[in-house]
Amino acid sequence: MKRVGVLGTGQMGVGIAQVLAQTGHEVLLWNRTEDSLEWGLTAIRQGLDRLLKKERISQLDHKDTLAHIRGVVAPEELKAADIVIEAVPEDLNLKKELYARLHLICADDVIFASNTSSLSVTSLARDSGRPEHFIGMHFFNPVQVMKLVEIVRGLATSGETTERVRALALAMGKIPLDAKDYPGFVVNRIVMPMINEAIFALEQGVADAKTIDECMKLGCNHPMGPLALADLVGLDIVLAILESLQREFGDPRYRPCSLLRKYVEAGWFGSKTSRGFYTY
Ligand code: 3HC
């Protein structure tokens, strides 16, 4: 699978596109507006500039990687893709609409992989019109650095689809591990309650944000503290995942801390809005 469509130019879409291009794949990066597309392409260029500056890549790699990415606005352009990785916002209607459109454009055996972190893969698969060729391919932030890809089969996902997607993850230099289609899969089910608990601790004044993070770094050897991690992932995303865990399991232990809700209401989404538990 050499030609990969990537839908969405948020943190995840941009990271996925960059890693694909760096590992020799032809990328068709899609967003519905020219402005968002330009933003995504600029983010990739800046990421590669940083690698060049650190001498992690050569000038030739830099040029070659960018040449592997073509930004597209018309969904029809994705007809050329062997697989489409969807990383648009977690809006069910938006995803449904996109799948319905692409289902008519792409050949029947083209795989649709979703980077969803909070929706049921089985249910998205049904909406895709091609449940056997639909799968969850869950990357982690920052995609350029994190090795894991959770491979999540829907009830109807075929064995062949799973093998092809696993091979693609390996070709991207990632480590694919299987997770069942339960809310949060493995990582988010464990990490999001931890982040939530850190926010409860902050709300109750157990310690300030910096101290909570330092405690988890020094006491548990985590590379970054849970509040800084929440800022990196995006507080809006953390809230959406916790709400999904609470809704799907029907278990109050996943209830999002009201302080998290307040930050999201204020538009403090973390590093992407320059303000979250820290300022950037
Ligand atoms: N993009 C690209 N590269 C980045 C980056 C970014 N946003 N942030 C850091 N890096 C690179 C740096 O350039 C550096 O590369 P180098 O070694 O080649 O110079 C390397 O990562 C290490 O970075 P730093 O030295 O600046 O800082 P750290 O050593 O603290 O590493 C980190 C930063 C990799 C983000 C590390 O703190 C970490 O692993 N944090 C935990 C991340 C994590 O848990 N992610 C999962 C979140 S859950 C999720 O994503 C699921 C989703 O559904 C919400």
Q: What is the pLDDT of residues 195-219, one digit of tens each?
A: 999 999 999 999 999 999 999 999 9
pLDDT per residue as tens digits for the range 46-58? 999 999 999 999 9
Contact 119, 92 (CB under 8 A): yes
CATH superfamily, with its number, for domain 3-179 = NAD(P)-binding Rossmann-like Domain (3.40.50.720)
Ligand 1 proximal residues by C-beta, below 6 Å:
47, 54, 56, 117, 140-142, 144-146, 187-188, 191, 223-224, 229, 233, 237
Question: Average pLDDT over the chain, rounded to whole?
Answer: 97
pLDDT of residue 1: 84
pLDDT digits (tens, 9 = 90+) for 240-254: 999 999 999 999 999
Residue 175 has pLDDT above 90, yes or no: yes
Catalytic residues: 117, 138, 150, 188
Ligand 1 atom at shortest distance from the alpha carbon of 234: 54
Average pLDDT over residues 34-39: 96
Superfamily in which the 188-272 domain is placed by CATH: N-(1-d-carboxylethyl)-l-norvaline Dehydrogenase; domain 2 (1.10.1040.10)
Would you call 26 helix, strand, or coil by DSSP?
Answer: strand
pTM of the entire structure?
Answer: 0.96
The whole-number pLDDT of residue 280 equals: 97
Phi and psi at residue 275, to the nearest 5°: -150, 130
Residue-wise pLDDT for 53-107, tens only, equals 999 999 999 999 999 999 999 999 999 999 999 999 999 999 999 999 999 999 9
Model confidence at 167: pLDDT above 90: yes
Is the confidence at residue 155, as pLDDT, over 90?
yes
**Rg over CA atoms, the chain:** 19
Does residue 142 have a cis peptide bond before it, meaning omega lies within 30 degrees of 0?
Answer: yes
CA angle 70, 175, 123 (to 5 degrees): 75
* Vertex 87 angle, CA 188 and 80, to 5°: 145
Please list the residue range(s) of the chain that carry CATH number 3.40.50.720.
Answer: 3-179
